[in-house]
Structure formats: C-alpha cells, structure tokens
A and B are shown apart, each in its own frame.
Chain A
Amino acid sequence: MQLTPDQLATIDRHLRKENWLLNEDLIAELTDHYTTAISNRMTEGQAFSESLIDVYKGFGWRKGLLKMEEEYGIQKKRQTILMAWREVKPFFVGQRTPITVAIFAGLYQLDSLYAGRDMAKSFFSTGETFLIIGFCTSFFIIIIWELWQSRANGENWFSFAGRKVTPFVRIYSICYAVLLCSKFVWIIFSWSLPAVLAQFVGLSLQTSTAVYFVGSTIALYKRLSPKVKAA
C-alpha cells in the first residue's frame, strides 16, 4: 500500500522533530524502513498511527533511536579510520611499496638538489611545499565536490559541512602536524645526529606523511562516492 504525502510527512516529522535525529544518511535509511514496515502493516488492516507506534517500539522508542544515531556516528568514524588504514598499509607492506620508495627517492633528490641554495632551500627544501600545495588543492577540490553534491541532493550547507568534511580536516591536520614537526621540531633534535641519519629520518617522516595522505584520500574518495542507482 502506498502511503499518502501526509503520512510520509508524519514519518519525517516523527524522525526529525519528535525524535531529534540529525544524521541525513541514517534518517534516509530509517525513513525507508518506517515506510515499508508501515505500508505492509496497513495492507494487513492495521491503522497508520498504530503501525507507526509498532515500528517505533521496535527501535526502542526515542532512547533507542538516539542511541542508534550516536552509535552510527561512532561506526562511521571507525569505518573511515579502518578504510584509511586498509589503503595506507599496502604502501608499507604490499603492492604499493614501490610508490613509497619512489616518493622517498623523489624527496631525497629534491633535498640533495636544493640543499645548498638558500632561496631554493627556503622554498623547496624537502618537498614540503609540494605536499602543502597538494593538501590545499585536494581540500579545495573536495569542498567544491561536496558543495556540488549537497546542492544536487537539496541539502543545506551546514548539514554537509558538519557531516562529511570532518574526516578530511582531521587527516589534513595530522599530515600538517607531522610536516611541521619534521620542519621545526625534528630539526632541533637532529643536531645531535649524524647528518645522513638526520636526513634519512626527516625524509622518512615526510614520505610517511605523503603516503598517509594519499591513502587516506583514496579511502575518503571511496567512502564519500555516491553509490546511488535508479530502480
């Protein structure tokens, strides 16, 4: 049995206003569940309001719905972290190891090539500038892409900003923090080490950052890619 627009609006109000749910992905999933379950119950002769209460009871009332939303947020964060690790791991042990070696060699080349020239050193010193430009460009592209998606889905800016960019900001911040450590903090400690060893550790830090960034971006791309198809 097809539900009327009023009944659909009641379900939407029930989830958003009466039960304070905010996560759009979860609301969409629960809306489908409520709609299908209620329409099946109505086919069997039950009234709309009774069916709604039955389904609501199955979710554990408001407490159950809110707990589910909280848990959903935790699982989504966990999913991003695990996905990122699954993408990053092959760069260290697996089929992507040659890429890591190539990045390390590239950074070593840059470091050796520009190490003696003051002006170039300040700009290119260890390839950090390239990485920072890469981060900013990717961040910009993701923001534009997300805006485009949210506009297409009829969502408002705030719901999109709070929900989807957060993992990227976290990954960006971790990468940037490691880079800054490598640039400013590591330099202080490296004075007591032989030059070759200091350079090796510094470059390893930067390579790990680049690899982590690439892996995390692949994971985010996979996670955020819409997998919607028409019936």
Chain B
Amino acid sequence: MNNAPNAQLLKGSLSVMILRLLEDRERMYGYEITQKVKELTAGEMAITEGALYPALHKLEADGLLTTETQVVDGRARKYYSLTKVGHTEAASRIADLRAFLENLNTVLNLKPSL
C-alpha cells in the first residue's frame, strides 16, 4: 500500500482506532497498539510512532484515556486505558465514523449515469 495517501487517510481516524482498540483490550501500551493494528490489517496499515504518541497524549489530556505505569524488565511501561467518559466518547465516535464510511462507500460505489 502506498504510504503517503495511507497516512493522510489515517490522520483523521487514528484517535477512533485507538479508542476502539482500547474498548476491546482494556489496556495497551504504545508499541502494542502499533503491532495490533499491523496484525489486524495484515501489515497493510502501519501507524507511525510520530503520529501515535501525540494522539495518545491528546486523548489523555482530553480526559478520554487514563494511564498506569507498570515496571516491566526493570523499566517503566505506560499503559493506556479508557476512562468512563472515554467509553461513552468511543461509542459515539465509532458510530460517527461508521456512518461516515457508509456514506463514503455509497458515493464511491456510484455507478456512472448513462
């Protein structure tokens, strides 16, 4: 997959993807999120670290995510999980994105008029 358009498309939906993954997995750390996306999309979609961490930090500042640090192999690992507000917001944003994708799909599948 061409990376440039992929990155552009990802930009608007990255926070929703993070919220969806955390809805499913309860808590995850940064590297784990990048790997999960890679695994789910069979390597077709790759989240760069330069995009992931600012998105995580912004969601945390917005109060949608909370963090917990756990010591793993002698170093601190920061786990992100959804707050109560985050759960509500995740459901709403996912529904919005689904509706948008359905509409986008309708437009993209438009048959040329003869």
**Pairwise interchain contact A227-B68, C-beta atoms closer than 8 A:** yes
B9 at the interface (CB under 8 A from A): no
Tell me the chain A residues, 34-85 only, with Cβ under 8 Å from chain B.
35-37, 55, 58-60, 64, 68, 71-72, 75-76, 78-79, 82-83
Given A75-B61, A227-B67, A230-B71, verify A32-B77 contact (CB < 8 Å). Answer: yes
Tell me, in angstroms, the Cα distance from A64 to B73 when the chains sit together: 27
B43 at the interface (CB under 8 A from A): no
Which residues of A have CB within 8 Å of B48? 58-60
* CB-defined A-B contacts under 8 Å, sample of 9: A32-B31, A68-B53, A72-B54, A75-B58, A76-B61, A78-B61, A79-B60, A82-B61, A82-B63
Q: Which residue of B lies closest to A73 (CB)?
A: B57
Main secondary structure of the interface of A (DSSP, over half): helix
A190 at the interface (CB under 8 A from B): no
Tell me, in angstroms, the Cα distance from A228 to B77 when the chains sit together: 9
Tell me, in angstroms, the Cα distance from A229 to B73 when the chains sit together: 13
A86 at the interface (CB under 8 A from B): yes
Contact with A along B3-20 (1 / 0, CB 8 A): 000000000000000000
- A37 is contacted by which of B31, B63, B73, B76 (Cβ under 8 Å)? B31
A117 at the interface (CB under 8 A from B): no
Q: Which residue of B lies closest to A231 (CB)?
A: B72
Q: Which residue of A lies closest to B68 (CB)?
A: A227
Tell me the chain B residues, 67-113 only, with Cβ under 8 Å from chain A.
67-73, 75-78
B39 at the interface (CB under 8 A from A): no
A33 at the interface (CB under 8 A from B): yes
Which residues of B have CB within 8 Å of A31? 75-76
Q: State how many angstroms separate the Cβ of A76 from the closest Cβ of chain B.
A: 7
Interface size on A, residues (CB 8 A): 31
**Closest CB pairs A-B (n = 6):** A79-B61, A60-B50, A75-B61, A58-B49, A64-B50, A75-B57
- B54 is contacted by which of A68, A79, A82, A227 (Cβ under 8 Å)? A68
Q: State how many angstroms separate the Cβ of A20 from the closest Cβ of chain B.
A: 16
Given A33-B31, A37-B31, A230-B71, verify A28-B76 contact (CB < 8 Å). Answer: yes
Q: State how many angstroms separate the Cβ of B27 from the closest Cβ of chain A.
A: 12
**Pairwise interchain contact A59-B76, C-beta atoms closer than 8 A:** no
Which residues of B have CB within 8 Å of A118? none
Q: State how many angstroms separate the Cβ of B105 from the closest Cβ of chain A.
A: 31
Q: State how many angstroms separate the Cβ of A118 from the closest Cβ of chain B.
A: 49
Q: State how many angstroms separate the Cβ of B64 from the closest Cβ of chain A.
A: 11
Tell me, in angstroms, the Cα distance from A83 to B30 when the chains sit together: 23
Tell me, in angstroms, the Cα distance from A60 to B54 when the chains sit together: 12
Which residues of B have CB within 8 Å of A2? 73
A6 at the interface (CB under 8 A from B): no
Which residues of B have CB within 8 Å of A79? 60-61, 63
Tell me, in angstroms, the Cα distance from A161 to B37 when the chains sit together: 38
Which residues of A have CB within 8 Å of B60? 75, 79
Tell me, in angstroms, the Cα distance from A230 to B75 when the chains sit together: 10
Q: State how many angstroms separate the Cβ of A59 from the closest Cβ of chain B.
A: 5
